[in-house]
Structure 1
Amino acid sequence: MALKLGDLVPDFTAESSHGPIHFHAYIEKSWAILFSHPADFTPVCTTELGSLAKLMPEFDNRGVRVLALSCNDAETHRSWVRDIESFTPGAKVTYPIIADPTREIAIKYGMLDPAEKDRAGVPLTARAVFVIGPCKTLKLSVLYPATTGRNFAEILRVLDSLQLTANYSVATPVDWKAGDKCMVVPSLSNEAALEKFPKGFETVAVPSGKSYIRLTPQPDL
């Protein structure tokens, strides 16, 4: 069964490129993100994990624990890391890569891609992204097909939005990025919004005459 937003994410214990990982204990009370991959020594995955390695300071600055998962054993992961670092100059893989040779975790998280299969006809693990909040519940999930690489700039943008909106009564509009104006959530009255947002807000005039689009500066800046 696919995970739904707000679900407690399944716990697991598994080997990794860094040794045994008890997932819930590893992420503790931090934000976390789990990236899955179809297999080791696959071309798109190699590019992704190299890019992820170079971006680790960005995830660290956001207090996010990062883990990858691939359906091979830990020793194979450690061998693959050398290719990843070689392909992406300056990359140093500091995050663990979870071993899932039996696909037990992939099945538990609903990661399998029925449209893409290996040479034996077994469905590949999709390129899943699971963003997990400090309470260990699912905050966002994206499933890319095995043939399509991820956009990490978008993942960082989404993390910024999730962390901001978890703490303030705002939403982020289309193409929002950190520093842009936010939107006051509809459930907040104008009076309450004035109390919460000392910088104020502007109401956008629309043909319907309804005052539902209210813009305010990003509240944590």
Structure 2
Amino acid sequence: METTQEQTIMPRIGDNAPDFEAITTIGKLQFSEYIDGKWALLFSHPADFTPVCTTEMSGFAVEQAVFDNLDTKLIGLSIDSIHSHLAWVNNVQRNTGVYMNFPIIADIDMKVAKLYGMLQPNESETAAVRAVFFIDPYQKIRLIMYYPLNVGRNMKEIIRCLEALQTSDEHKVALPLNWKKGEKIIVPPPKTLKQMEDRIADDSLDKVDFYLAKRSL
């Protein structure tokens, strides 16, 4: 199967987040300046005035206070004009009371969508898939989610992953399956026989075995 250029340059976890300048619903912005040392979520949707996208983008707006508390900036994208974006934001606010006041990129030339691998030809050549890029304050891509056009994202999982990344960075720990904020974290496995012996003797830990143990933060 032939590989297109867009597919070969898709950003990966650990890469620097590609910088760009774009027209958005809050005006022209430079992405690196907009992040300004904070976490960021860059997310795409296929098209304005479509049902699944309306529920998703409204979901980000409804949780705006949560993202603010997590010191995280939001920026959306679709391959629509700025006029379409503004009309859609107004329409959603008028019909639901939800105001999407975070910037939404008008990516008519598909520049940003291609830069981030949001165009996936086997799904669509003209609409961005539902992608979410988690970008840290050092502008590194830390986690990527991709969804097809016909399946909406899970906002609880997006928030859970963001909290997990921030917790892992702050405390230098790993996190188990289904971890949620406030739950026990994984203790790094021992690297020497002495550390293993100490781990076995440590009754303060929640242990399955010496290599799998949890503790409270």
Using structure 2 for the length normalisation, give the TM-score. 0.87
* Structure 2 runs not aligned, ≥5 long: 1-8
* Structure 1 runs not aligned, ≥5 long: 195-199
- 1: distance between equivalents of 2:94 and 2:174? 40
Using structure 1 for the length normalisation, give the TM-score. 0.85
Secondary structure, counterpart of 2:102 in structure 1: coil
- The reply on whether 1:80 has 2:92 as its aligned counterpart is no
- 2: distance between equivalents of 1:42 and 1:205? 48
1:117-148 deviations in Å (ceiling 9; x for gaps): 3xxxx342110000000000100001111111
Alpha-carbon RMSD:
1.9
- The reply on whether 1:113 has 2:116 as its aligned counterpart is no
- Show the counterpart of 1:197: none
1:1-30 deviations in Å (ceiling 9; x for gaps): 111111111111010111101100000100
- Show the counterpart of 2:110: 103
- Show the counterpart of 1:18: 26
Runs of 4+ in 1 over 3 A off after TM superposition: 187-191
Distance change in 2, residues 1:75/1:135 (3 Å):
same
Identity %: 38
- Show the counterpart of 1:39: 47
Structure that is richer in helix per residue: 2
Distance change in 2, residues 1:37/1:66 (3 Å):
same
Letter in 2 for 1:56: Q
1:43-101 deviations in Å (ceiling 9; x for gaps): 211111111111100000000000000111212111010222245x3422120101100
Distance change in 2, residues 1:22/1:201 (3 Å):
farther
- 1: distance between equivalents of 2:64 and 2:15? 26
- 1: distance between equivalents of 2:179 and 2:48? 34
Letter in 2 for 1:93: M
- Show the counterpart of 1:133: 136
Aligned residues of 1:127 and 1:146 also touching (Cα < 8 A): yes
